[in-house]
Amino acid sequence: MSLPIQIAFMTGQSDPESCALSPAQAAFLDRLAIPEAARVNRNFPYADQTPPYRDVSLAAASWQNMRQYLVSRTPAFAAAHRPAVVRMLARADHTVLLAGSCGLEILANLELPGPVLQGVHVFAYGPVARHRPACDTVVVRGGGDWIARAWGGHVDHLVEGGHMGYLANEDVAALCQTFVARVARLAGVTAP
């Protein structure tokens, strides 16, 4: 039996050894009015067994995310990661993906089948992506986010801040909560 709704992060792996949530990601989930059972407590690529979170330098994280952005554009990447993402999405009728930075590009490059994308709702913050996937997507960008701004594209909400501050931004949390509440209504769930 599947959940009516779940919420998961989809960002680049700053640490290629782990898909554990960072403290900032875990704190952001704690701010949202969602039940514990609806939280996917791992990031992309959603490995069942993953080492705990560890700090990596900004330089190392930036390099790893840039590398993953480029590799995600290959058929081999999609073939390797699509099954795990489809399994994670199958846990619920509706999934809210919190796609930060290159997460939107990763999702689009997985080329998920249309029926799988029907239940996917993306809250993209600071996206570094060439295009949106064919699903319900809201894009938030910080006015000082020159990285995401360089990629252009349609922006649904402009907030204060730069590329690294989205998860601590009150406006982003409020916009995300509104988005999650809308998806919960679609799923027939009353947010707590």
Instruction: State the helix-helix crossing angle for 23-31 and 170-186, rounded to 10 degrees.
Output: 60
pLDDT for position 59: 84
Q: Is residue 29 within 8 Å of residue 39, measured between CB atoms?
A: yes
The pTM of the whole model exceeds 0.75: yes
DSSP string, 1-52: --EEEEEEEE---SSTT--BPPHHHHHHHHHS---GGGB--B-TT--SS-PP
The Cα 69–Cα 71 span in angstroms is 6
Domains, in order of start, for the chain: 3-186 (3.40.50.1820)
* pLDDT tens-place values along the chain, 192 residues long: 689 999 999 998 888 888 999 999 999 999 998 889 999 999 999 998 888 888 888 788 788 888 888 888 999 999 999 999 999 999 999 999 999 999 999 999 999 999 999 999 999 999 999 988 999 999 999 999 998 998 888 899 999 999 989 999 999 999 999 999 999 999 888 755
Single-letter code of the amino acid located at 127: P
Rounded to a whole number of angstroms, the CA Rg of the chain reads: 15
Sorted by sequence, the CB contacts under 8 Å of residue 46 that are 6+ apart come out as 8, 19, 40, 84, 85, 87, 88
Distance of CA 190 to CAs 31, 33, 65, 120, 180, Å? 17, 10, 36, 18, 11
The Cα 105–Cα 73 span in angstroms is 8
